[in-house]
Amino acid sequence: MSRAFVKEDNGDRLESLPDRPISSLPNYMTPNGHRAMHEQLVQLERELAALKGSEELSQKSRQAHLERDIRYYLARLQSAKLVEPPVHPPDQVRFGCTVTVVDAEKTECRYQIVGEDEADIKQHKISWASPLARSLMNKQEGDTVLWQKPVGAVEIEIIRIES
C-alpha cells in the first residue's frame, strides 16, 4: 500500500504555519490605520486566549492561524512609521491625503493614500506603493498624470486634494 494513504500518528498536533510575508518597503501608516491594526491585534489575542487548551483539531488549526496573524501584526506595529495627516489642505498629493481624479470619460474617483496594510479598494484606500498612488504623489490640483494600468495607460486629472 502506498504510504500516502497511511495515517501517521503525530498526536493530532499541527505544525506552526509559516509567517505571512512582510513587505520590504517602509511601513508607513496613518494614525487611524495604526489604531485599527492595534485593535485587530487585541481581538486576535482575545480569540486565541479563548481557544487555548482546546483539543479539537479544528480549534488547533484556528489557533495556528491566529498565532501566525498575531506575529504578523506585532511585527508590523513594531516597524510602523506613523505619518500624521497634513494640518492644512495640502497643495501637493502626500501620504494620507484624499485625492479626487477624473478620467477622459468624466468619471470621478476619490482615493485616500494610505499604508500597505490599510489599503482597501472597497473603501477607496490605496497603498502609497501602488502604481496609481506613485503616479499621483507630489502632483497638484489641475495636473494630469498617466496611470499605468494592466490594460494600458490612462490619463487622469487631479481635481481636488484634501487632508
pLDDT digits (tens, 9 = 90+) for 41-81: 999 999 999 988 777 877 888 999 999 999 999 999 999 99
Residue 102 is predicted with a pLDDT of 97
Give the bridge partners for 149, in sequence order.
Answer: 152
CATH number of 20-82: 1.10.287
Is the pLDDT reported for residue 35 higher than 60? yes
Closest residue by Cα to residue 136 from 91, 99, 83, 87: 99
Is the pLDDT reported for residue 10 higher than 70? no
Yes or no: is domain 98-162 CATH 3.10.50.30? yes
Contact between 140 and 97 under an 8 Å Cβ cutoff? The reply is no
